[in-house]
Chain A
Amino acid sequence: MTLATVARQVMWNRLISIVEEQAQALVRTAFSTSVREAGDLSAGAYNAKGEMLAQAVTGTPGHVNAMADAVAHFIRRIGRDNIHQGDVYITNDPWEGTGHLHDITVVTPSFHRGVLVGFFACTAHVVDIGGRGFGADANSVYEEGLYIPIMKLADRGSVDSTLIRIIRGNVREPDQLVGDVYALAACNEIGHRRLIDMMNEFDLSDLEGISEFILTNSRVATLARIAALPRAEAEGHMQIDGYDLPIDLCVKVSVLADRVICDWAGTSGLDKKGINVPLVYTKAYVCYALKCAIAPEIPNNAASLAPFEVVAPVNCILNAVHPAPVALRHVIGHMIPDTIYGALDKILPHVVPAEGAGSLCNFQVSLRPRMDAPAPMDAVRSEVLTFNSGGAGARPSLDGLNATAFPSGVMTMPVEATEQTGPVIIWRKELRPDSGGAGTYRGGLGQFMEVGARQGHEFDIQAMFDRVDHPARGRRGGGPGAPTRIAQDDGTAMKGKGKQFVAHGRRVLMAFPGGAGYGAVAGRDPAAVRRDLALGYISEAAARTIYGLSEEAIDEVLASARKGEIG
């Protein structure tokens, strides 16, 4: 390390800080609750070749790793000769963006002293893109909404008003969507301004030197981590619900001297409905799962991601090609880490968690004035999307996190903010006792939710749930997490996936899955069992039958719990 490298380290940190500013600008100007409340977005900076140099930690893994590839597609499609100062590019191509039409990716070239020096890209999940609405029911991508190929949103500073009109004419919440497109463009602009400030400060004419420094250091560090792993192969398998038929995810993880390969041969083929996963999104969650376990503190960039390779047969569900329907690619994609960890646990024991809820437990409601009887004057149509989480899997030495997203990085929306966006009523949102798998370390609890509509409205709910029939499985003797449940308050059964009608006055009751346990239940610290009982994480019955707590102990714990004490 020489003195010049200190300056380079400073610039690397600066770039990471720049993309963070870029992401914050997006949160503060976005319209969709998925972006502004839940942070379903990402932001990154790239060199002139299109290699990703830095990503914002604000955001979610499915976007960012996928974005690592996206800019190269933009360069190829737009054409280097056609890239000008003041341009802004856009797409929602599931295969060249981040996996479904609901993610809008915007890329802005960055010019310094008249020369192209790099790019900024950002992605956000919007609430509506037209078509059937956000849900699993489409039979091809054509039904899933408006498709925007890679194209110019702005050409030398002038916005394509035809494109904006087409967008407005094709979606349910046009103001929101156009507002979000502007927010995406604005956030790249903020990144660009900061980059130019930095280049002036350090008197750089290009990003070659700093790119080389970032990518080399990241590559070397990542390869050192991989080299320290045992050279081995192991297989993982997980069966999940799918739409109509169960889906098998099969992976072989191979640790080589200089890379780790995940081969998905044997995985189920395409589903007829919109839960298929473009390869770019598969790669995102493969990289994420491996990085968490192997190299968590190395920042994401082209070099630190490159040694993690993905092989998946064409038109298996994890490598769906056009025109497969892919709107809910996250429901399957979020299950990738748990599948990989089944294999990785055999190579790297005592590192990875037990299986968890996996996919986010999202639903979208399309509310409208009731049609079975006269509706009140103030009844309205509205689209409301919510993100929610089940329990995470228990860790080798820690309980699983209650109602916390993993592997996704998004937040839930505040109920008060959600209810301000439309006539929806969330009647319940709280932890689900007894849903965490038993074990030496208990799985995280899932949650209960109940949703209805304000007087005078009826709605369709788009369910996007898995683990109804395939709950999270424990590791090393740990018990399974509780499965997903969904029904109406009058007992009417409902499906885990797909659009379903809910009549005026009815509510949907949901119980989201728990994470699985780690290690045999006999090994659990009795004090932890008593605490769980006192807090109501487990019921009296579970304390007795699963954890073997004596009657006296149960009485004692409950008596003190009633006084607000634990133990």
Chain B
Amino acid sequence: MPTQPVRLGIDIGGTFTDVVLETGHVRHSVKVLTTPAAPEEAIVDGIHRVCAKARVPVAAVTQIIHGTTLATNALIERRGAKTALITTQGFRDVIEMRTESRFEQYDLNLVQPGPLLPRNRRYTVAERMDARGEVLIPLDRAEVVLLADVLRAAEYKSVAVGLLHSYVNDAHERMVGAVLHERLPGVMVSLSCDVSPQMREYERFNTTVANAYIKPLMKSYLGRLAGRLKAEGADCPVFLMHSGGGIIDLATAAELPVRLVESGPAGGAVFAADIAARHGLDRVLSFDMGGTTAKICLIKNQTPKTARVFEVARSYRFKKGSGMPISIPVIDMVEIGAGGGSLAHVDAMNQIRVGPESAGSEPGPACYGRGGLRPAVTDADLILGKLDAATFAGGSIPLDRSAAARALGDALGQKLSMTDLEAAWGLAEVVDENMANAARVHAVENGEDLGEYTMIAFGGAAPLHAARLCEKLGISRCLIPPGAGVGSAIGFLRAPFSFEANRSVFMKISRFAPDIVCEIFAELEDEATRFVRSCDATAFITAEFKVYMRYAGQGWEIPVALTPDMAKAADPATYLAQFEADYARLFGRVVGGMEAEITVWSVNATTTVPDVARVPAVPPHGAPKMAGQRELFDASTGQERLASVYERTSFVAGNHVDGPALITEDETTIILPPGRKVLILPDGCIAMTADGARA
């Protein structure tokens, strides 16, 4: 039978390792517990189980796509290797001084997150480039040789090199790198001009240090994994999901492991993008809500929005600025501390606050009956009738309604003179509003109006909150795909091979030099394409060209997409017109009399994803069998209503149901409030729409 390719998507998360097997149109998935000490063990276990489930031998697996939180966790938990930084004399403390500001202005006892490398692991060399890339102080090779001896004596495993203005001229960094390779064989080296060649020294140095810090760990893990897979008979190519939503080969991942940070959530966004493509949706808000956090991402034209910098390891209530910046191509999403386990309390102003503190799996929400005394989002969902105490998690965790009510009463109700039901409503409204606000701010930062968007909801807690979020955001349509519990791992199987190459070169429109532009783009295209070609020797590769532009004097650029023709037959008028159109759309009007400039050049090479078959429309016909009825609280009217209960497994395409209703499945429950209805689509997606909207 296995003449067809057999592909595996493997996502290592904090609690579970998800393994998805696809062959032809058949898909199987398993969840096994993550084995943190040797993550490859869970993978091997999962592979055997999923292959058994699918009745294919392990040796028949043709390709494995893997994503992992290991890189992220190593940064959060500070479990990296002994690493040194070599930087420009006079700038030893860039990664420690950060922005010299406090991310929480009113906290007198604020503690800043410490730098990844303590001060005595940061070394300097006498050298200096200026902002134009001209050498002010030449680097003395002999000084680097002496420093290499110091580093050897201190037994560093990895070295990061970050010199000022290396994004303009990398000669000194390359020289340091060459000396280190020669003098310190076996020590891993990361140069900032390779890892993140962009202006702003704090972000660039920190990204390079992060890469160097996790490189030995990730290289060793990836090596072990490859060996283990071979030993188990899965002797097939293994690729890694990267934070930008594409796939890279094992060797590249081992060189640039920082690009694996947040690859799991990136897989989720790719999953949503694939659903968007199947349903022909050009504007999608992906909403992924789990136990601890919610992730929100904009997907336009079936492509997740990307950014060039994000923050990892936020140490202070997910607050902006409390983590460390990583500047790599990344799927742009907001992550906030809002999940099923997020805990609530009443603050000094008698306002309900929810999250980011989470009950986790131990003790879990109060209703788990495992000793949790504080109310969590799941407790509120239970009291509001969204969850059924007996069938939660397929009946494996019976929920204790009275414990939930007690926790809500103790923490909220008594302080605010509210009934348990009102307290539950208040809690749910606050967490929903937190998520809605995050989505709104994210949309505004990107100049988007969510009213025209379709939501795609996945992750265990998302279907419970998706409808209310849609109401708050003015979104009239939401899709809840099947397989939502392993969405990231499915997403890995949908991702193209891709690599984005960036370069910082400043160019004013008035000094636009077509020959230099062509040269930059040619180099970037070659670099990006070479990476992708090394993963797939035959596929058709397309290159997307982009510049980041601004008015000269501004500090923040906007991305301006170019067609290959525009990039190659470079003409300043075309670039300017494109920039002004984009700027006006984002910020209302262009700024007259100002000169525009280009700051960053970018080429993203990617294999083309096969066109997916569009899911055909289906006329509504027939309702499924009702499994029961229960009271469901409606947040928008503040009243309880009797709602019908259905099992998702009993649905066939074309079935339709009007709210109020609940649709249960093993991993979650879909809440359908009054005024919304659902239609089951041919691919098993549930389309939830506001009355009067298109299904």
A430 x B429 contact (CB < 8 A): no
What chain A residues lie within 8 Å of B595 (beta carbons)?
A: 175
Given contacts A297-B347, A412-B99, A414-B202, contact A395 B92 (CB under 8 A): no
A1-35: which have CB < 8 Å to B?
A: 1, 3, 6-7, 9-10, 12-14, 17, 20-21, 24-25, 27-31, 33
Within the complex, what minimum Cβ distance (angstroms) separates B468 from chain A?
11
What chain B residues lie within 8 Å of A179 (beta carbons)?
A: 551, 553-554, 591, 594
Q: Apart from A1-B418, A9-B426, A17-B441, what are 4 other A-B pairs with CB-CB below 8 Å?
A: A175-B552, A190-B588, A454-B130, A535-B120
CA distance in complex: A1, B414 (Å): 10
B130 x A425 contact (CB < 8 A): yes
B440 x A401 contact (CB < 8 A): no
A-B contact pairs, 30 of them (CB 8 A): A1-B422, A6-B422, A6-B426, A13-B433, A14-B433, A21-B444, A25-B587, A27-B556, A31-B553, A175-B553, A175-B593, A190-B444, A201-B472, A292-B108, A395-B108, A402-B96, A404-B102, A411-B100, A412-B101, A416-B131, A416-B201, A417-B555, A419-B131, A420-B131, A429-B91, A450-B90, A535-B120, A536-B119, A564-B118, A565-B120
Within the complex, what minimum Cβ distance (angstroms) separates B122 from chain A?
10
Interface string of A414-456 (1 = CB under 8 A from B): 1111011100010111110000000000000001101000100
What chain B residues lie within 8 Å of A12 (beta carbons)?
A: 351
B102 x A409 contact (CB < 8 A): yes
CA distance in complex: A353, B444 (Å): 38
Given contacts A296-B107, A297-B106, A298-B349, contact A3 B120 (CB under 8 A): no
What chain A residues lie within 8 Å of B167 (beta carbons)?
A: 416
Question: Is A537 on the interface with B (CB-CB < 8 A)?
Answer: yes
A427 x B587 contact (CB < 8 A): no
A24 x B441 contact (CB < 8 A): yes
What chain B residues lie within 8 Å of A429 (beta carbons)?
A: 90-91, 94, 97
Question: Is A225 on the interface with B (CB-CB < 8 A)?
Answer: yes
A61, A178, A295, A412: the one contacting B100 at CB < 8 Å is: A412
What chain B residues lie within 8 Å of A3 (beta carbons)?
A: 422, 425, 638
B417 x A537 contact (CB < 8 A): no
Interface string of A188-228 (1 = CB under 8 A from B): 01100010000001000000000000000110110011000
A186 x B100 contact (CB < 8 A): no
Binds A, one of B153-161, B256-264, B301-309, B518-526: B153-161
Given contacts A410-B101, A419-B131, contact A36 B433 (CB under 8 A): no
Interface string of B90-131 (1 = CB under 8 A from A): 111110110111100111111110000011110000001011
Question: Is B503 on the interface with A (CB-CB < 8 A)?
Answer: no
Question: Is B136 on the interface with A (CB-CB < 8 A)?
Answer: yes
Question: Is A80 on the interface with B (CB-CB < 8 A)?
Answer: no
A416 x B348 contact (CB < 8 A): no
Question: Is B680 on the interface with A (CB-CB < 8 A)?
Answer: no
Within the complex, what minimum Cβ distance (angstroms) separates A385 from chain B?
13
Q: Nearest chain-A residue to B430 (Cβ)?
A: A9
What chain A residues lie within 8 Å of B199 (beta carbons)?
A: 414, 416-417, 420
B200 x A416 contact (CB < 8 A): yes
Q: Which of A28, A292, A351, A352 neighbours the largest number of chain B CB atoms within 10 Å of its CB?
A: A28
Given contacts A404-B100, A415-B201, contact A217 B554 (CB under 8 A): no
A30 x B555 contact (CB < 8 A): yes
What chain B residues lie within 8 Å of A296 (beta carbons)?
A: 106-108
CA distance in complex: A39, B474 (Å): 32
Within the complex, what minimum Cβ distance (angstroms) separates A64 from chain B?
10
Question: Is B247 on the interface with A (CB-CB < 8 A)?
Answer: no
A293 x B348 contact (CB < 8 A): no
Interface string of B344-370 (1 = CB under 8 A from A): 000111111000000000000000000
A13 x B434 contact (CB < 8 A): yes
Within the complex, what minimum Cβ distance (angstroms) separates A20 from chain B?
6
Within the complex, what minimum Cβ distance (angstroms) separates B409 from chain A?
13
Q: Nearest chain-B residue to A64 (Cβ)?
A: B105
The main secondary structure of chain B at its interface with chain A is loop
A182, A402, A419, A562: the one contacting B130 at CB < 8 Å is: A419
What chain B residues lie within 8 Å of A387 (beta carbons)?
A: 100
Within the complex, what minimum Cβ distance (angstroms) separates A214 from chain B?
9
Complex A-B, nearest 5 residue pairs according to Cβ-Cβ distance, in ascending order:
A36-B555, A428-B90, A296-B106, A411-B99, A1-B416
Given contacts A351-B108, A431-B96, contact A414 B201 (CB under 8 A): yes
B84 x A564 contact (CB < 8 A): yes
Question: Is A403 on the interface with B (CB-CB < 8 A)?
Answer: yes
Question: Is A389 on the interface with B (CB-CB < 8 A)?
Answer: yes
What chain B residues lie within 8 Å of A182 (beta carbons)?
A: 589, 591
A190, A292, A403, A425: the one contacting B97 at CB < 8 Å is: A403
- Chain A positions near chain B (C-beta within 8 angstroms): 1, 3, 6-7, 9-10, 12-14, 17, 20-21, 24-25, 27-31, 33, 36-37, 39, 57, 61, 175-176, 178-179, 182, 186, 189-190, 194, 201, 217-218, 220-221, 224-225, 291-293, 295-298, 351-353, 387-389, 395, 397-398, 401-406, 409-412, 414-417, 419-421, 425, 427-431, 447-448, 450, 454, 534-537, 561-566
CA distance in complex: A228, B330 (Å): 48
Q: Which of A411, A427, A430, A535 neighbours the largest number of chain B CB atoms within 10 Å of its CB?
A: A430
Question: Is B48 on the interface with A (CB-CB < 8 A)?
Answer: no
- Chain B positions near chain A (C-beta within 8 angstroms): 82, 84, 89-94, 96-97, 99-102, 105-112, 118-121, 128, 130-131, 136, 150, 153-156, 164-165, 167, 199-202, 347-352, 416-418, 422, 425-426, 429-430, 433-434, 437, 440-441, 444-445, 472, 474, 506, 551-556, 587-589, 591, 593-595, 638
CA distance in complex: A224, B92 (Å): 47
B555 x A564 contact (CB < 8 A): no
CA distance in complex: A67, B589 (Å): 26
B554 x A561 contact (CB < 8 A): no
Q: Nearest chain-A residue to B124 (Cβ)?
A: A430
Within the complex, what minimum Cβ distance (angstroms) separates A52 from chain B?
16
B155 x A563 contact (CB < 8 A): yes
CA distance in complex: A190, B352 (Å): 28
Q: Which of A225, A397, A403, A404 neighbours the largest number of chain B CB atoms within 10 Å of its CB?
A: A404
Within the complex, what minimum Cβ distance (angstroms) separates A406 from chain B?
7
Q: Nearest chain-B residue to A396 (Cβ)?
A: B109
What chain B residues lie within 8 Å of A24 (beta carbons)?
A: 441, 444-445
Q: Which of A7, A29, A201, A454 neighbours the largest number of chain B CB atoms within 10 Å of its CB?
A: A29
B91 x A415 contact (CB < 8 A): yes
Q: Nearest chain-A residue to B119 (Cβ)?
A: A535
What chain B residues lie within 8 Å of A298 (beta carbons)?
A: 348-349
A186, A352, A401, A563: the one contacting B588 at CB < 8 Å is: A186
B108 x A535 contact (CB < 8 A): no
What chain B residues lie within 8 Å of A415 (beta carbons)?
A: 91, 164, 201
B109, B150, B429: the one contacting A10 at CB < 8 Å is: B429
CA distance in complex: A7, B422 (Å): 12
CA distance in complex: A9, B303 (Å): 35
Within the complex, what minimum Cβ distance (angstroms) separates A159 from chain B?
10
B93 x A57 contact (CB < 8 A): no
CA distance in complex: A412, B102 (Å): 11
A20 x B441 contact (CB < 8 A): yes
